[in-house]
Structure 1
Amino acid sequence: MPVDRRLEHDAETWLLPVLAAGRQLLCVTPRRRGDEPVADHPLADRIRAVLGESGLTTVDVDRLLEDGTPHPWLPVPTEAIDYRPLPVPRRWWSLAGRPGIAVREVESYSSLQAFLNHPHQWVLEHVAALYPGRLADPVLGNRQKGVLLHRLVEWLFGAPDLDWRGADRTAVRRWIDRRLPELLEREGANLHLPGRQREAEELRWVAERALWTLLQHLHSSSATSVRIGESVLGSFSGGRFTGRIDLLAVDANGHEAVVDLKWSRAKARCEELRGDRQLQLAIYAQLRQQVSGRWPDEGYFVLNEARLLAQSARRFPDAVICDAPGTAGSPALWAAFEKTWHWRRGQLDAGRIEVNAPGTEPDDEGVPPVDGLPVASEPDRLDIYRALTGWPEGS
């Protein structure tokens, strides 16, 4: 639209509320926008030109609120409220003299992660029962792709039209070409939107490579059966634990392997294994040990890189080996976890909740026992409770 026609259109549009007004027209103009003063709107100049300054009543709302006296043109009752600054971040919340926080009947891996590393999150979610709305956390981006490939793996091992034990790569590709469109219709329709087709095609390529590579690892491990989403229920010294194992592979001798599926971050997962920090695998392995009487092998399978990561090649000879001198494995990690859990539990019993959030600094009270499990010293960048942990001075 040409500039002169645009200005003419704007001038006509500005007049619409004026022409629609019956008894009264109230215009509100801010003094500043950010750090910049706000200039008068051209409509205000046109009104003044018609009515003159005496015909245009101006009310200073800031002064009205300070005086607390209703204006005859704006009869809004006001009440002065004392200024209360927002709370600043504190590293510790204290519940001294208040009812203690009870032990939960059943924990999950995600709840234990929060309990150990970010106790304030555990308290706000599982004690205060504060949850984000479902619309506040849509499953999109890489998270959605991970969920979709998890589902495709689930379908693969339950497929009546494909025997994973003997299928070749061509058969796997054809199966994906049949089932992936159906999956996207159900759980990934946004990938059919204009401009997203390339992502859908990339996901198909990643799915083929990942599923075929996963099958190769299972063949080399002599797996005869695979259970997806295996429920586990067991105990630890602090109570009971429940969870779901992404993939549980079993060979002809009944020896098990726990495999956790991850969408990405193979390098970070390998560092976990090298540093004996694979807590999720250790917990699931311990719970299977409680059932079978022996520790299963473990590993991460990273979907977008089609890589299986393990601490040894004992069960998966073609895996990427993430080991280091002194690696003790999951039995020692389990013992360290239980010791650290009791240390955190003792803090809660004393009414002390560590708040590992921006604006706070770690201190000696937040250092776990020497032979315990290391805990996070940095805030969680995905902390959904950040607005409840304090604000910078002067906010």
Structure 2
Amino acid sequence: RRELLRALGAEPGVGGPAWRSALARIAEGDNERALEAARVIDRLVSDPLPADALRPRAIAQRLDWLAERLRAVGRGDGDLLASLTQVQVLQRVLGMLAPEAPLTRRTLQQVIDSCGSSGPSPRAVREVSDRQVTTSPAQVRGGAVLWWGPSSDDAPRTQRWDPAEVDALAAGGGRVLSPAQHAALQVDAALRGLRRAEEIVVVLPGRRLEEVPGPSGLLAHLGAGDRLRPEELIEDGRWTLARRSLEVVAPAQEEEPAAPPTEHRIAPAPHLLPRKLSFTQVSSLLACPHHWALEYALDVRPADVAALPTGARMIGTLVHAVVETLVEKRYDPGLGGTPLDAPSAEEIGEVLDRLVPQLASELDLPGRAAAREDVRDRAVRSVGALFSGAAEAGLRITGTETRFELPLTLMLADGERTVPFVGSRDVDAIAADGRRAVLDLKWSRSRSRYGDLFDTSEAIQLASYAWALAQEHPGEQPADVGYFLLRSGEFVSADPALDPHDRASMDTGEAWRRMLAAVTARLDEVADGRIRCGCRELQERTGLDASASWSARSSALTRARAAEREAGGLLVEEHCGTSEHAQLCGTTGAIR
């Protein structure tokens, strides 16, 4: 499991180098059962049943291994044994059907939903009571009724039928009601049940998920009644409802727990200083030293299953790989790079389609066709704009994901410390006059964030790329730097041939100097045993908390960055509230 999850963390799909390497490492071990399980999983995910091949026999064959595996590892585990029972029920149901008759995807989902469920809530316990309990108002037979939490969300749901199901019912004398007729019958049955009651006590829900849900529409047919707040039911220290009462006891007053500290003081910790640095590490260190110490110095990381790439991160990796593949395919050693023209939309689309199963397999899941088409359309247009824009500006792309590892000397309080500074430049290019350029590719919804970082010379990732190129090619002019926004197909650059916004050149040397000064100060604090919680410090500084809206955070951050810049410093924000370390940093949750 660990090997396969790590492979999916590197490439969220199957069939690629990471997946094949994981299978090879499992094969090198001496666990035959693990190897067999891995091979079966590989066959299942590498050759999924197409929608037009959902036949009971084919599905049942795939369930045989799952049932055997659950039986072998269950061994008294209630959840696993429940899953085994559901699989066995599903196998029996499939055995009742014609083995070669195709099922629609919706029918199969209905069968699965009927055979297996999430089970009762772990908070639900059996009780012995003289009261009858019903699950629908239509089942009320009289007497006093306590109706708990009637909500407008409980409205009847429409049952959908396939044409084949309608025809089969009609052949047997059955008639499918229209949604309106079906809802009318349910409402009529519920009202007839409620009107048989002698007394109805309704407990209306308060706030749920930060919203006040509306009451059931059935209440409007029962008359106004008396509405009482819970505290109005207290008399002489007892709370009474439906002829039952409880003594009201005020809990002892507790002091509000102190907020987690914004700084941790420990013994001097020079052993926590990094042996290697990268831009990702630097960004984390500057934003929140506590987060950095947990993740990089102490190796406290999320479980592999929680770190699987998805969403924008996954799509960004996919489109990066499309660019890399096209550059490798089009690279001409005689030219020293790619030709000054753009690949066709068909060529870009073909590469993307080939890489999706390897790097973004969730886009191939049923129901994701629209999302996949949106990603494909955006990627084809933006990758085409990247190549055509670079060609029109006279930039010949010379490499992608160019790895570098260079010595970096830090002037710390206890003396010089030299560590490798490692990273990969997204796109290297060279202009007609021989000047080097580097572009960082970003898949981001924001069209202003990276322009702002560039304009304020705080794009420290670009500064690190420029520094690396200067170390590799000493004596040359400083490299031109810029971003390319993959989602919108726009450049952020001082080159007017790429970006029409008339931007001034970014001072990469000054940005690199400010970054090194900030890194040195943070590492001196760590060596001295002072670990700051940067995100919480920023919250206190801006007067916001983790629940603040994006617009409020953005405005406050802009002001804080400007103040830090005015003082000659550098403010990097990486919101811990969206990370797995949020509770450990004290950004979210209650820590005592």
Aligned equivalent of 1:15: none
* Equivalent pair of 2:262/2:536 in contact (CA under 8 Å): no
Cα pair distance change 1:102/1:387, threshold 3 Å: closer
* Equivalent pair of 1:263/1:304 in contact (CA under 8 Å): yes
> In structure 2, which of residues 128, 139, 143 is the aligned counterpart of residue 44 of structure 1?
128
Cα pair distance change 1:106/1:306, threshold 3 Å: same
Three-state SS of the structure 1 residue aligned to 2:128 is: helix
Q: Deviations over 1:279-332 (max 9, x none)?
A: 00001101111111231100000001000101x22xx513244736xx761111
- The code of the aligned residue for 1:297 comes to D
CA–CA separation in structure 2 for the residues paired with 1:141 and 1:297: 31
Correspondence list, 1:1-395, <5 A: 44-45=128-129, 88-96=259-267, 98-159=268-329, 165=339, 167=341, 172-238=344-410, 239=418, 240-264=420-444, 265-293=446-474, 294=476, 295-310=478-493, 312-313=494-495, 317-321=497-501, 323=503, 329-358=507-536, 361-362=540-541, 372-376=568-572, 379-390=575-586
Length-normalised TM-score, structure 1: 0.70
- The Cα of 1:241 is off from its aligned counterpart by 0.7
- The code of the aligned residue for 1:381 comes to G
Q: Which runs of 5+ in 2 are unaligned?
A: 1-120, 133-255, 411-417, 543-562
Q: How many residues align?
A: 314
CA–CA separation in structure 1 for the residues paired with 2:589 and 2:397: 55
CA–CA separation in structure 2 for the residues paired with 1:164 and 1:45: 79
Cα pair distance change 1:157/1:323, threshold 3 Å: same
Aligned equivalent of 1:10: none
CA–CA separation in structure 1 for the residues paired with 2:408 and 2:568: 15
Moved more, 220-229 or 243-252: 220-229
* Equivalent pair of 1:257/1:296 in contact (CA under 8 Å): yes
* Equivalent pair of 1:258/1:296 in contact (CA under 8 Å): yes
- The Cα of 1:243 is off from its aligned counterpart by 0.3
CA–CA separation in structure 1 for the residues paired with 2:589 and 2:580: 17
* Equivalent pair of 2:287/2:535 in contact (CA under 8 Å): no
Cα pair distance change 1:252/1:275, threshold 3 Å: closer
CA–CA separation in structure 2 for the residues paired with 1:278 and 1:320: 19
Aligned equivalent of 2:19: none
Cα pair distance change 1:125/1:372, threshold 3 Å: farther
The RMSD of aligned alpha carbons is 3.5
CA–CA separation in structure 1 for the residues paired with 2:500 and 2:308: 33
Aligned equivalent of 1:9: none
Q: Deviations over 1:160-189 (max 9, x none)?
A: 699952655xx5112123222211122222
- The Cα of 1:208 is off from its aligned counterpart by 1.6
CA–CA separation in structure 1 for the residues paired with 2:512 and 2:348: 38
- The code of the aligned residue for 1:172 comes to S
Aligned equivalent of 2:146: none
Task: Pick 1 or 2: higher relative contact order, CA cutoff 8 A, min separation 6.
Answer: 1
- The Cα of 1:358 is off from its aligned counterpart by 4.5
Moved more, 340-349 or 368-377: 368-377
Greater per-residue helix proportion = 2
* Equivalent pair of 2:393/2:497 in contact (CA under 8 Å): yes
CA–CA separation in structure 1 for the residues paired with 2:303 and 2:366: 28
Length-normalised TM-score, structure 2: 0.48
- The Cα of 1:267 is off from its aligned counterpart by 0.9
* Equivalent pair of 2:273/2:527 in contact (CA under 8 Å): no
Aligned equivalent of 2:78: none
* Equivalent pair of 1:235/1:287 in contact (CA under 8 Å): no
CA–CA separation in structure 1 for the residues paired with 2:520 and 2:331: 49
CA–CA separation in structure 1 for the residues paired with 2:506 and 2:368: 45
- The code of the aligned residue for 1:273 comes to F
Cα pair distance change 1:241/1:130, threshold 3 Å: same
Q: State the identity as a percent.
A: 22
Three-state SS of the structure 1 residue aligned to 2:524 is: helix
